[in-house]
Amino acid sequence: MELSDISKQLLNAKREKNITFTDIARQLGRDEVWVAALFYGQATCSDDEECRKLSHILSINFSAEQIHQLKHSSYKGLLIPSFPPTDPLLYRFHEILLQFGVPMKEIIHEKFGDGIMSAVDFTVKIDKDETVKEAPRVNINMSGKFLPYKRW
């Protein structure tokens, strides 16, 4: 995975301050997944004020060029260089799609009609469920706007 210089700087500052994405998200008023996406160049800050908040949280003095990078869209989806991914956790998402993708698609079509789920108007929540002591559960809630296919 090839990271940009700004991503490396953000991740190093996070590590040096020994804070989590959740900690940063609370201070920014954002979600932890969105903050992680920002750090990896897959999301952008909304304005200079958000960049200043991030600068304060991480104790980094961003240059004008770095602020520009944080506020402007990068090429998304370039972090995973091969498909299927070789990282075991990322591969499991691929495996889930292989096994359950078509059934999930069909159920979405039954409930909503012919269309897609947006990855632009989209949120993800990740929670840890420890009700089963010997095997904690990862709960992932994906919520995307339904977009029907246009007929013309």
The yes-or-no answer on residue 92 being catalytic is yes
Catalytic site includes residue 95: yes
Catalytic residue among 4, 63, 118, 143: 118
**CB of 55 within 8 A of CB of 62?**
yes
Q: Which residues pair with 127 in a beta bridge?
A: 139
Q: Which of 16, 65, 95, 106 is catalytic?
A: 95
Closest to 98 measured CA to CA, from 83, 76, 116: 83
30 belongs to the catalytic site:
no
Whole-number Å distance between alpha carbons of 68 and 113 = 40
Phi, psi torsion values for 58, nearest 5 degrees: -95, -5
Number of CB atoms found within 10 A of residue 48's CB:
13
Q: How far apart are alpha carbons 121 and 141 in whole angstroms? A: 14
**Active-site annotation holder among 4, 92, 137, 143:** 92
Are 57 and 24 within 8 A, CB to CB?
yes
- Structure-token match 């039954």, residue found: 110
One-letter amino acid identity for 91? Y
Active-site residues: which are they? 92, 95, 118
